[in-house]
Amino acid sequence: MVEASAYTDKVMEHFFNPRNVGEIEDPDGVGRVGNPVCGDVMKMEIKVKDGRIADIKFMTFGCGAAIATSSIVTEMVKGKTLEEAMAVDNRQVASALGGLPPAKLHCSNLAADALHKAIEDYRSRAKPAG
């Protein structure tokens, strides 16, 4: 168990006041990831307009770090192009929160992975049939 004092103020802020929580009606892409070891489960949904993430929402079942990383990712990529959003990696997520305890770095991987899976889902749906 990680002590609360091991978290930055920014992590605590996003844990207690997460941004963009919820679901998007008729999302363009959905990404689901989970970690069986820690039990964290994340779902990210995106709306895409003109090649940009017009809206993004998440639902996370997990620890404070999992919720905080999900929240910060949504803020990092809203309005960005799909290419810019695909470039977001776990180091950038952890850095945006002012760092994470070593035992919680996997949460930043999960958040980035959920985002990438949502974009991949969107791209697979957007391809013409044939």
63 noted as active-site residue: no
Q: In DSSP terms, which residues pair with 43 in a beta bridge?
A: 32, 59
Q: Which of 107, 110, 115, 118 is catalytic?
A: 107
Q: Which of 2, 21, 30, 38 is catalytic?
A: 38
38 noted as active-site residue: yes
The H or E element that residue 97 is part of is none
H, E, C per residue of 7-47: CCHHHHHHHHCCCCECCCCCCCEEEEEECCCCCCEEEEEEE
Q: Which residues are catalytic?
A: 38, 107
